[in-house]
Chains A and B, each alone.
Chain A
Amino acid sequence: MLTKRIIPCLDIKDGRTVKGVRFEGLRDAGDPVALAARYAREGADELVFLDITATNQKRTTLIHLVRDVARELDIPFTVGGGIGTVADVEALLLNGADKVSLNSAALARPELIDELARRFGSQCIVVAADTRFHEPDGWQIYTRAGTHNTGRDAVQWCREAADRGAGEILLTSMSNDGTKDGFALDITGAVSRAVSVPVVASGGAGSMQDFTTVFQQAQADAGLAASIFHFGEIGIRALKEHLRQDGIPVRL
Chain B
Amino acid sequence: MNIAVIDYKGGNVQSVLFALERLGVQATLTADHATIRAADKILFPGEGEASSAMRELRAQGLDQLLPTLTQPFLGICLGMQLLGRHSEENDVDLLGILPFDVVRFPAAAGLKVPHMGWNNLQQLRSPLFAGLREEDYVYFVHSYFAPVGDYTIAQAAYPAPFSAAVQHQNFYAVQFHTEKSGPVGTRILENFLRL
Contact = CB atoms under 8 A, between A and B. Distances in A.
Contacts of A130: none
Contact of A168 (B12, B116, B119, B179): B116
B48 interface: yes
Which secondary structure characterizes the binding site on chain B?
mixed
A198 interface: yes
A98 B117 contact: no
Interface string B1-40: 0000000000110110011011000000000000000000
B180 interface: yes
Contact of B113 (A67, A197, A219): A197
6 contacts: A2-B140, A70-B18, A75-B182, A93-B14, A98-B141, A123-B143
A120 interface: yes
Interface in B101-139: 107, 110-120, 137, 139
Category for how many chain B residues contact A: 35 or more
Nearest to A69: B18
A2 B49 contact: no
Grouping DSSP codes into helix (H, G, I), strand (E, B) and loop, the A interface class, with mixed when no group exceeds half, is: loop
A2 B117 contact: yes
Contact of B180 (A1, A75, A168): A75
B116 A221 contact: yes
A40 B11 contact: no
B117 A45 contact: yes
Interface of A: 1-5, 40, 45, 67, 70-72, 74-76, 93-98, 118, 120-124, 167-168, 196-199, 219, 221-222, 251
Contact of A74 (B115, B120, B181): B181
Given A40-B182, A98-B15, A120-B48, A1 B113 contact: no
Given A98-B180, A123-B47, A124-B12, A167 B118 contact: no
Contacts of B110: 219
Interface string B129-173: 000000001011111000000000000011000000000000000
Contacts of A95: 14
Contact of A197 (B49, B114, B183): B114
Given A70-B14, A196-B111, A198-B114, 11 more contacts: A1-B119, A70-B18, A74-B22, A74-B181, A74-B183, A75-B181, A96-B14, A121-B11, A168-B114, A197-B113, A199-B112
Contacts of B15: 70, 96, 98
A124 B107 CA distance: 20
B177 interface: yes
A219 B111 CA distance: 11
A76 B177 contact: yes
Nearest to B178: A74
Contact of A5 (B117, B142, B183): B117
B141 A123 contact: yes
Contacts of A74: 19, 22, 179-183, 185-186
B168 to A, nearest CB: 26
A123 B119 contact: no
A222 B15 CA distance: 23
Nearest to A219: B110
Contacts of B158: 2
Nearest to B21: A71
B180 to A, nearest CB: 5
A241 to B, nearest CB: 15
A74 B177 CA distance: 10
B117 A198 contact: yes
Contact of A1 (B116, B157, B179): B157
B30 to A, nearest CB: 16
A96 B22 CA distance: 14
A3 B117 contact: yes
Nearest to A250: B118
B177 A198 contact: no
